[in-house]
Structure 1
Amino acid sequence: MYRKMLLIAALSWNAAALIMLGGCDEKKADAPAAGSNTKVDDHSGHDHGHEHADGHDAARGGTVIALGEQMIGSFTATATRDEGQIVAGTDAPIDVTISPAAGSTAKVIAVRFWIGTEDGKGSVKAKADIENPAEPHRWHTHAEIPNPLPPGSRLWVEIESEKGATATGGFDLKN
């Protein structure tokens, strides 16, 4: 009887150790809004497949396409993407420079991009990061392009302030 209990204890400890090790370095994505079927991908640790040279603009091996500038909530946002066709089922390297509006002290705590419709149906919201600490207002990620790409798709930028307020603006993809 004692041997069986010892065997069960040893097996249980090994199983518990495997479960704990399997959870190491797990990064949680932002949860989608209630009632939406929008996926969220924080793109943590992904490899962009290109070098990031110092003093180098948003372009990652090509010409930058300016998508425009607009007010999103209490922020001014200027969006660009790398040159190339917007092709369903691929991704698009996107950069958005975000600054508080004149006279505002608002701070950005999170930025999300997606390509598609404003409601995000069928799109993946990607959490952007500041890649270069020397450019603390420039947010970057690779936005996944839905397949099929809905007619009238745009780049959508959601900005979350330190107060928890979110605001969204859309940019023409200029494809």
Structure 2
Amino acid sequence: MAHSLNDLPSIEQLLDHVAMQLKQSLEQSNQALQAPCVIGLHTAGVWVAKALQQRLGFQECWSLNPDYYRDDFQQRGLGKNTLPSNLPASIEGQHIILVDDVIFTGRTVRAAMNELFDYGRPASIQLLVLLDRGGRQLPICANMIGATLCLTAQQHIKLKDHNQQLVWEMQTKDD
């Protein structure tokens, strides 16, 4: 069921929902005993990954900044607060849980996967997001989703850290 901004569940509810989905997915695939490699995408995906780590007790969570791998890097460049990726030395044969706040076009996830393959060949990659807002430009979809949100092409939503409290920030951009 697609939500509007007015009936969107709270961030805590979304985190609980995706944590439950992730736990079930790991149990069904017999990966519960193995420590999955949880990787959050800078910046908001890292916050979500850390919240999942607290809920599910993962020993470690890693971070990935796919900015250098984006297909629009020449136009966008690097942000002023760009942080490096912090990944294990090798991801060869590991089960990767890639975590982000919102999936939109799929381009950030594609860039992230390209960077991951520079570190090895994982056994699997699953994508977990709090919000799927539609509008895909690439054939990429999340395995675990907190909620689906209907937005126009001009509306954008991002997870922000406001005094150590996660909140949604909505923006409307003109064409």
Q: TM-score range by the shorter chain?
A: under 0.3
From the two aligned structures, give the one with the greater helix fraction.
2
**Higher gyration radius (CA):** 1
Decide which structure has greater strand share: 1
Greater RCO, CA 8 A, separation 6+: 2
